[in-house]
Amino acid sequence: MKKNQSVGIIASIGIIISMVLALSACSKPGENESSRQGANQAVEVSVMEIKPEHVTIATELSGRVSAFLVAEVRPQVGGIIQKMLFTEGSEVNEGDVLYQIDPALFKAAYDSAKASLARAESILPPARSKAERYKELAMANAISQQEYDDADAAAKKAEADILSAKAEMEKAQINLEYTSVKAPISGRIGKSSVTTGALVTAFQAVALSTIQKLDPVYVDVTQSSSSMLHLKKSMEKGLIKKDADNQARVKMLLEDGTPYSQEGVLKFSDVTVDPGTGSVILRSVFPNPELTLLPGMFVRALVEEGVNENAILVPQRCVTRNAKGIAVAMIVDTSDMAQTRELQIDRAVGNSWLVSDGLTEGDKVIVEGLQKIRPGSPVKTMLFGAEERAAERNSGTSHTQSPSGAEK
């Protein structure tokens, strides 16, 4: 019985072996070899050959426009507004009369002071003559010394009364002139906070209107203290472009990204670092003949630091970060194998990164096909077109962004 079971088992094993051999015979002879070759087949990728370029390096800083001069118009005497002599939003010149305050009381005060002066002036001549006569009589012992002293004191009092009356008249005249509220500076005047018939008081808290000089204008931008130190070093080394007056030139982009037609100059930086943000204020001055720039407008200033004659630029999409946070790019080595290269990124230039270390002239950086390869994979290279490369670099903007916004 046991012998028959062993024979059956052996027969079953023989059948299974025969089926395996039959299946192997049915398969194609080169199938396994082709599979192995497919695993090592080269992947087609687009590469960009590194060539040093001439690039202007500029720091981009965000800021806002402010008026060059600002003057709040306030009355210096109180009274009723009789006339408003300007058009809101128009240009006014220094000295133009803007408001007329009722001058009746001030005119009366001036006339009274003028009359007081005339009265004082009428007293002086006889008092002075009397003092001179008494001086001669006192020298001849015809009158007492006390009488002469009294006459001399009366003459001097008359002189002092004239000076006091003149001062009062000048004060009254000034107050009368203040009834005509004049423009303290030339510029564009805003809306009026009062109308004809309103009662105003001297040096009131609420300004009647505000005048702003808008040509030129200030552009105040914020910059980190570390970037400010870098900017200062660039200025000391002469890397930043300056004009004939030894002032750094500044360009500007408007809110919509349009370049502003006029260049400005960098004036100064604030003397205090904001402890909350670690930033300082840089002030530049821009001409504004067309009044394109208005106070409060958001702009971006571009301070040119210099020119990098051998800049290495790579599209930003080529660069990733490894597990350590280091910037890396895939390159093709001399054996047509994909390899990882660690980079040091300086800043962004348009849609490209400015590489300070990690790439040299002639290196081939993979631009397209990164998702298909791994380090050590064989690749078949195709040159990334010059037109596509220019589009990568200039897409969106053609200037250099702030180091604070670039990868470090």
For 33-44, write each residue's pLDDT tens digit: 444 444 567 888
Domains, the chain, with CATH or none: 43-55+309-405 (2.40.420.20), 60-68+214-307 (2.40.30.170), 77-209 (2.40.50.100)
pLDDT band at 281 (very low <50, low <70, confident <90, very high): confident
Q: Residue 334: left (phi > 0), alpha (psi -120 to 50), or beta?
A: alpha
Spatial distance between the Cα atoms of 287 and 266, rounded to a whole number of angstroms: 12
| Interval 387-397: pLDDT, tens | 555 555 555 44
What letter does residue 369 receive in the DSSP assignment?
Answer: -
* Rounded Cα–Cα distance for residues 302 and 252 (Å): 6
The pLDDT value recorded for residue 376 is 86
**342 vs 226, which has greater pLDDT?**
342
Q: What are phi and psi of 118, to 5 degrees?
A: -65, -40
Can you name the residues that pair with 313 across neighbouring β-strands? 354
At 60, is the pLDDT very low, low, confident or very high (cuts 50, 70, 90)? confident
Q: How far is Cα 300 from Cα 138, in angstroms, rounded to an integer?
A: 86
Provide the token pair at 119.
């009265």
pLDDT in tens, 289-326: 998 999 999 999 887 766 777 788 888 888 988 888 89
Average per-residue pLDDT for the chain: 81
Which two structure tokens, joined as six digits, stand for 304? 């040119």
pLDDT at 237: 64
Which pLDDT belongs to residue 81? 95
CB 182 within 8 Å of CB 98:
yes
For the ranges 208-212, 233-237, 401-405, the lowest mean pLDDT is seen at 401-405
> For residue 206, which amino acid is it?
V
Does a cis peptide bond (omega within 30 degrees of 0) precede residue 216? Answer: yes
Q: What pLDDT, in 10s, does the model give residues 150-205?
A: 999 999 999 999 999 999 999 999 999 999 999 999 999 999 999 999 999 999 99
pLDDT at 23: 46
* The pLDDT of residue 348: 80
Residue 371 DSSP one-character state? G
Going by C-alpha positions, the residue among 306, 278, 320, 259 that lies closest to residue 404 is 278
Is residue 73 a contact partner of residue 184, using CB atoms and an 8 Å limit?
Answer: yes
Q: What is the pLDDT of residue 405?
A: 39
Q: Look up tokens 């992947």; give the residue.
A: 43
Q: Which two tokens stand for residue 171?
A: 């004060």
- Give 344's contacts (C-beta < 8 A, 6+ positions apart): 327, 355, 356, 357, 358
Burial class (CB in 10 A: 0-12, 13-18, 19+), 240: buried
Nearest to 368 by CA among 341, 332, 398, 407: 332
Beta pairing class for 79-84 and 97-101: antiparallel
What are φ and ψ of residue 379, in 5° steps?
A: -135, 155
Percent of the chain with pLDDT over 70: 78
pLDDT of residue 44: 87
Percent of the chain with pLDDT over 90: 37
Which candidate, 262, 303, 233, 270, places its Cα nearest to that of 61? 303
Check pLDDT > 70 for residue 118: yes
Rounded to whole angstroms, the Cα distance separating 85 from 161 reads 40
